[in-house]
């Protein structure tokens, strides 16, 4: 039996919860927009699930490994989509709530050079040994930490470092550090203004948790765009 209910979050965008005896699936407001704009994404997700369960031969661009960290791995799930697979020993529900809440704050209050990948939804089931969280994929995942150190763990990331950031000067690096620090101050102030605890929503704020893109045309006066990723 399937039940459907709306989850209203104080001052934040609502979610839709789908419950069966063996699973819970939640779709965020941005997830609903994604499905409306790209109905084919449902077939992509079914295909991903079959691949992840080992019952379907993989195809190019689906479940290619992108990154690992903590007790989770991130894979490509289709065009501009990524899937975070977490162990059942952690709760991606809290991660989804944290990131979708930050998305609400950033979209409402932050300058356009600071952004966050959309987080679309989550599947949890006691019959599965992983939890699945769907989100927007941002290029190859080059972080501020990668740029400042001049090295990254994958060939794709190092290629972006070479082609987009290879000519950085010390002044450029100082500018990137300053932008990262400024983003932290802006986020802290915005959360406090909303009565939200920065320690809860920014528990692991560091340069490795901030993606960066170099812009050909400056955005709101910045030649770099920063993307907050999972805290």
DSSP 56-108: S---TTSS-EEEEETTEEEEEEETTEEEEEEETTS-HHHHHHHHHHHHHHHHH
pLDDT band, residue 101 (cuts 50/70/90):
very high
Measured torsion, CA atoms of residues 44, 49, 50, 52, in degrees rounded to the nearest 10: 120
User: Is residue 71 domain-shared with residue 129, that is, in the same domain?
Assistant: yes
User: Is residue 126 domain-shared with residue 221, that is, in the same domain?
Assistant: no
* Rounded distance between C-alpha atoms, residue 59 and residue 46, angstroms: 13
Q: What was the pLDDT predicted at 2? A: 86
Does position 3 have pLDDT exceeding 90, yes or no? Answer: yes
User: Is residue 26 domain-shared with residue 132, that is, in the same domain?
Assistant: yes
User: Is residue 18 domain-shared with residue 131, that is, in the same domain?
Assistant: yes
User: Is residue 76 domain-shared with residue 22, that is, in the same domain?
Assistant: yes
Q: Where are the beta strands (DSSP E) in the chain?
A: 3-7, 15-20, 23-27, 65-69, 72-78, 81-87, 114-115, 119-124, 130-136, 210-219, 222-228
- In the chain, what percentage of residues exceed pLDDT 90? 65
Q: What was the pLDDT predicted at 117? A: 94
pLDDT higher for 32 or 231? 32
What does each C-alpha distance from 60 to 56, 76, 172 come to in angstroms?
Answer: 13, 10, 37
- In the chain, what percentage of residues exceed pLDDT 70? 94
What does each C-alpha distance from 77 to 23, 73, 99, 211 come to in angstroms?
Answer: 20, 12, 19, 19
Q: What was the pLDDT predicted at 159? A: 92
pLDDT band, residue 191 (cuts 50/70/90):
very high
pLDDT band, residue 55 (cuts 50/70/90):
low
User: Is residue 204 domain-shared with residue 167, that is, in the same domain?
Assistant: yes
Q: pTM here?
A: 0.86
User: Is residue 169 domain-shared with residue 123, that is, in the same domain?
Assistant: no
Q: What was the pLDDT predicted at 202? A: 93
Angle of helix 29-37 relative to helix 41-52, nearest 10 degrees, comes to 110
User: Is residue 101 domain-shared with residue 192, that is, in the same domain?
Assistant: no
Range 115-126 average pLDDT: 93
User: Is residue 43 domain-shared with residue 99, that is, in the same domain?
Assistant: yes
Task: Note the pLDDT tens digit of each residue in 127-166.
Answer: 888 899 999 998 778 999 999 999 998 888 899 999 999 8
pLDDT band, residue 1 (cuts 50/70/90):
confident
Three-state DSSP state, 37: helix
Number of structural domains found in the chain: 2
Q: Report the mean per-residue pLDDT for the chain.
A: 90
Three-state DSSP state, 164: helix
User: Is residue 155 domain-shared with residue 196, that is, in the same domain?
Assistant: yes
Does position 118 have pLDDT exceeding 80, yes or no? Answer: yes
Give phi and psi for 123, each to the nearest 5.
-125, 125
Does position 62 have pLDDT exceeding 80, yes or no? Answer: no
Task: Note the pLDDT tens digit of each residue in 64-88.
Answer: 888 777 678 888 898 899 999 998 7
Q: Whole domain around residue 193: which residue ranges?
A: 144-228
User: Is residue 161 domain-shared with residue 177, that is, in the same domain?
Assistant: yes
User: Is residue 121 domain-shared with residue 39, that is, in the same domain?
Assistant: yes
């Amino acid at each position: 039996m399937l039940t459907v209910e709306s989850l209203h979050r104080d001052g934040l965008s609502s979610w839709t919860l789908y419950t069966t005896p063996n699973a819970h699936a939640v779709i965020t407001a941005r997830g609903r927009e994604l499905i409306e704009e790209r109905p084919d994404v449902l077939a992509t997700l079914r295909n991903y699930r079959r691949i992840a369960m080992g019952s379907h031969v993989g195809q190019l661009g689906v479940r290619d490994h992108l990154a690992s960290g903590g007790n989770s791995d991130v894979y490509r799930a289709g065009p501009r989509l990524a899937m975070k697979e977490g162990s059942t020993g952690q709760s991606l529900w809290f991660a989804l709530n944290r990131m979708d809440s930050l998305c609400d704050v950033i979209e409402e209050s932050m300058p356009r050079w600071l952004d966050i990948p959309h987080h679309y939804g989550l599947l949890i089931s006691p019959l599965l040994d992983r939890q699945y969280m769907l989100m927007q994929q941002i290029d190859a995942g080059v972080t501020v930490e990668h740029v400042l150190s001049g090295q990254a763990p994958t060939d794709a990331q190092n290629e972006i470092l070479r082609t987009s950031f290879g000519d950085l000067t010390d002044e450029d690096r100082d500018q990137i550090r300053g932008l990262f620090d400024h983003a932290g101050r802006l986020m802290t102030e915005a959360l406090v203004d909303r009565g939200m605890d920065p320690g809860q929503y920014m528990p692991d704020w560091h340069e490795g948790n901030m993606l960066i893109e170099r812009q050909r045309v400056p955005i709101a006066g910045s030649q770099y765009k920063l993307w907050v990723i999972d805290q």
